[in-house]
Amino acid sequence: MSKKGNLMSFRPDIKVLDATLRDGGLVNDFYFEDDFVKALYKANMDSGVDYMEFGYRADKDMFEEDKFGKWKFATDEDIRSIVGDNDTSLKISIMADVGRCNYKRDIAPRSESPVDLVRVACYIHQIPAAIAMIEDAHAKGYETTCNIMAVTNVQQYDLVSALEMLTETPVDGVYIVDSYGSLFPEQVRDLTDKYCSILEPCGKYVGIHAHNNQQLAFANTIDSCAHGASLLDGTYASMGRGAGNCSMELLMSFLKNPKYNLFPVLKFIEKHMVPFMESPDVLWGYDIPYLITGHLNQHPRTAIAATNAHRTDYTNFYKELIDRD
Amino acid sequence: MSKKGNLMSFRPDIKVLDATLRDGGLVNDFYFEDDFVKALYKANMDSGVDYMEFGYRADKDMFEEDKFGKWKFATDEDIRSIVGDNDTSLKISIMADVGRCNYKRDIAPRSESPVDLVRVACYIHQIPAAIAMIEDAHAKGYETTCNIMAVTNVQQYDLVSALEMLTETPVDGVYIVDSYGSLFPEQVRDLTDKYCSILEPCGKYVGIHAHNNQQLAFANTIDSCAHGASLLDGTYASMGRGAGNCSMELLMSFLKNPKYNLFPVLKFIEKHMVPFMESPDVLWGYDIPYLITGHLNQHPRTAIAATNAHRTDYTNFYKELIDRD
């Protein structure tokens, strides 16, 4: 496989998804003020973002409503309170986790919902369950993606099997998800080639969702893009679990399609993200504990605990993680 | 040109240079305590770093001694006060800027100096002056590199001319220097191919010195490495002018040569860099103003002023930089 496009032109197939409420919600338990969400919706429209993800559609029987902000559950009603009928070119997505979403009950037909895209997130062993959800959402009229998480823990033969199974489904796109921020650009280019070679002949696109543990979220996103990925996830000021995600402002400064515009992104960050960025209680972004979990290809939960506790005893933290006893 | 090596093995030609005192010195006017410098010297030895740069050899007739810490001038005497005879495998470098170093007077023969490598830094129009310095240093017995700064402002035909001129000199290596942090990995790979194709047939190596304006310093360094660069600059905790450099801890976690060791790097950061990182007066690292100057391929001086003033009015800053009146 080879490069698609170059740095001077643009590929019209490339689209950007803002995951700030969803991945950023993992940082603040989804407590975003309505004014913030409305301003984000406007910033996304002004900057040319293609999809805005409003959160998870989590099962209220499984998660207690009073322990989370409403975007953990991202109901059609709550989304509508922000977007009305969303008579715009900005599409709306939600994430539905396998095993954490009562999709038969909680996902209405698209004709009754402001949502356009249902992103089904799963681990590799949950692919059959994900396919059932994809088929349900497709039958209800939605666009769908399958977001196979923690790809760095997936064996190549399982991955190929999963991608081949997905070619037999109505799914529109499949994501490379580097949950642990462990991938190097060289690996992302290879993975993108593999995903594209299986999915594109069946008319399905590839997406990329990166984490910044090794300061590679942006690099991995644009290299995946250069090799064919066409749905790119970003978050404002990188807000997302742990080390955060590919930064929307970097993405908007990079993409050449004239429909994209950096200025509204800067405007939103200045007014609405800076208070978060300056708050000692809402922490995300590259830090040495995230480098260590990324380097070790581990879930970032230990690093999140370390940065929340403002630990700087990096050597002890490292020793805890490599302890084999 | 194609990839050299892979992610599982290692290339023995790859070497790492610690530029913390030199590029980091641009952040704190070179005021480092001797204990810091001694601990850094030890950390570099313990972690397998190949070269430690002690600072600039600036001309004391041009820069007032009482306005800078001593590593702006990095005299042989001051270096010796840290390393003695440096009876170790860690080599010592200094940087000599064209037009700012009285090299005939201030660079002694290598037999009388603890320095191993003189890195001659220049802008493209200074190549003839740089060559004179390289020839002088070589005649005195030093290893030499030529660090052509601000490569993103250099026309391709000038660059090719400069590289060809350098092949006729005794220089050991030539650096890709992304002073403004403007390069994308795709461009770095192409530039590395170009440098290698001209320099390697003449027995000269390629180095890479990156800045983190677009969170790409590490990505650009490892991609340049994958395409043949073999002297890689890093700084502890990325300490360096503006957005900082490629982080030594990321580099040490990436490189596979068993001589490299992440743990002493973490130990040094924990004890000696954290106080800097927590100080409100010593600022470096990715921030939105650096993204903007990097995106616009401009010198970071305006962004340095903005972050030092703790400005978060990113939209005004952006408008100031794109003002064409």
Looking at chain A, which residue has its C-alpha nearest residue B313? A270
Residue pLDDT tens, chain A, 325 long: 567 888 888 999 999 999 999 999 999 999 999 999 999 999 999 999 999 999 999 999 999 999 999 999 999 999 999 999 999 999 999 999 999 999 999 999 999 999 999 999 999 999 999 999 999 999 999 999 999 999 999 999 999 999 999 999 999 999 999 999 999 999 999 999 999 999 999 999 999 999 999 999 999 999 999 999 999 999 999 999 999 999 999 999 999 999 999 999 999 999 999 999 999 889 999 999 999 999 999 999 999 999 999 999 999 999 999 986 6
The reply to whether A3 falls in a domain is: no
With an 8 Å Cβ cutoff, the interface of chain A facing chain B consists of 3, 7, 184-187, 212, 214-220, 222-223, 226, 247, 249-250, 253-254, 262-263, 266-267, 269-270, 274, 286, 288, 291-292, 295, 312-315, 318
Asked if B219 lies within 8 A of A215 by C-beta distance, the reply is yes
Q: How far apart are CA A301 and CA A307, in angstroms?
A: 10
Looking at chain A, which residue has its C-alpha nearest residue B251? A214
| B88: number of Cβ within 10 Å | 14
In this structure, the answer to whether residues A35 and A144 fall within a common structural domain is yes
Which candidate in B250, B256, B293 is best for mutational testing of the A interface (most A CBs within 10 A)?
B250
In this structure, the answer to whether residues B312 and B269 fall within a common structural domain is no
In this structure, the answer to whether residues B68 and B207 fall within a common structural domain is yes
Q: How far apart are CA A31 and CA B256, in angstroms?
A: 42
| A81: number of Cβ within 10 Å | 14
Asked if A186 lies within 8 A of B3 by C-beta distance, the reply is yes
In this structure, the answer to whether residues A301 and A175 fall within a common structural domain is no
Instruction: Give the 3-state secondary structure of A208-265.
Output: EECECCCCCHHHHHHHHHHCCCCEEEEEHHHCCCCCCECEHHHHHHHCCCCCCCCHHH
The reply to whether B55 falls in a domain is: yes
Q: Report the run of H or E that residue A56 belongs to, with start and end.
A: strand A51-56
B286 in Cβ contact with B266 (< 8 Å)? no
What is the amino acid identity at position A82? I
In this structure, the answer to whether residues B160 and B297 fall within a common structural domain is no
What is the amino acid identity at position B31? Y
Bridge partners (DSSP) listed for residue A167: none
With an 8 Å Cβ cutoff, the interface of chain B facing chain A consists of 3, 7, 184-187, 212, 214-220, 222-223, 226, 247, 249-250, 253-254, 262-263, 266-267, 269-270, 274, 286, 288, 291-292, 295, 312-315, 318
Q: How far apart are CA A296 and CA B266, in angstroms?
A: 15
CATH code of residue B263: 3.20.20.70
The reply to whether B283 falls in a domain is: no
The reply to whether A10 falls in a domain is: no
Residue pLDDT tens, chain B, 325 long: 567 888 888 999 999 999 999 999 999 999 999 999 999 999 999 999 999 999 999 999 999 999 999 999 999 999 999 999 999 999 999 999 999 999 999 999 999 999 999 999 999 999 999 999 999 999 999 999 999 999 999 999 999 999 999 999 999 999 999 999 999 999 999 999 999 999 999 999 999 999 999 999 999 999 999 999 999 999 999 999 999 999 999 999 999 999 999 999 999 999 999 999 999 889 999 999 999 999 999 999 999 999 999 999 999 999 999 986 6
B7 in Cβ contact with A186 (< 8 Å)? yes
Asked if B312 lies within 8 A of A270 by C-beta distance, the reply is yes
Q: Report the run of H or E that residue A324 belongs to, with start and end.
A: none
The structure tokens listed for B321 are 């930089």
| B174: number of Cβ within 10 Å | 25
| B278: number of Cβ within 10 Å | 10
The region, left, alpha or beta by phi > 0 then psi within -120 to 50, assigned to residue A237 is left
In this prediction, residue A85 carries a pLDDT of 94
In this structure, the answer to whether residues A233 and A313 fall within a common structural domain is no
Asked if A318 lies within 8 A of B263 by C-beta distance, the reply is yes
The reply to whether B209 falls in a domain is: yes
Bridge partners (DSSP) listed for residue A233: A17
In this structure, the answer to whether residues B32 and B150 fall within a common structural domain is yes
The torsion defined by the Cα of A189, A190, A193 and A199, in degrees rounded to 10, comes to -110
The reply to whether B31 falls in a domain is: yes
In this structure, the answer to whether residues A31 and A91 fall within a common structural domain is yes
The single-letter DSSP state of residue B230 is -
Q: How far apart are CA A164 and CA A250, in angstroms?
A: 33
At how many degrees (to 10) do helices B301-308 and B314-322 cross? 160
B225 in Cβ contact with B256 (< 8 Å)? no
Asked if A266 lies within 8 A of B312 by C-beta distance, the reply is no
Chain A residues whose beta carbon lies within 8 Å of the beta carbon of residue B251: none
Domain hosting B294: range is: 288-322
CA distances from A165 to A109, A130, A202 (A): 25, 11, 11
The single-letter DSSP state of residue B121 is E
In this prediction, residue B325 carries a pLDDT of 60
In this structure, the answer to whether residues B250 and B302 fall within a common structural domain is no
Asked if A186 lies within 8 A of B223 by C-beta distance, the reply is yes
At B279, give phi and psi (nearest 5°).
-75, 135
Convert the pLDDT of each residue in B164-201 to its tens digit: 999 999 999 999 999 999 999 999 999 999 999 999 99
| Three-state secondary-structure class, residue B88 | coil
In this structure, the answer to whether residues B267 and B225 fall within a common structural domain is yes
Q: How far apart are CA A223 and CA A129, in angstroms?
A: 30
Bridge partners (DSSP) listed for residue B122: B148
In this structure, the answer to whether residues B82 and B206 fall within a common structural domain is yes
In this structure, the answer to whether residues B131 and B82 fall within a common structural domain is yes
CA distances from B237 to A73, A185, B22, B24, B36 (A): 39, 21, 14, 10, 14
ipTM rounded to 2 decimals: 0.95
Please give the tally of structural domains in chain A.
2
The reply to whether A2 falls in a domain is: no
The region, left, alpha or beta by phi > 0 then psi within -120 to 50, assigned to residue B82 is alpha
The reply to whether B191 falls in a domain is: yes
Place of tokens 């399958």: A146
B147 in Cβ contact with B208 (< 8 Å)? no
The sign one gets for the Cα dihedral A215, A270, A90, A141 is positive
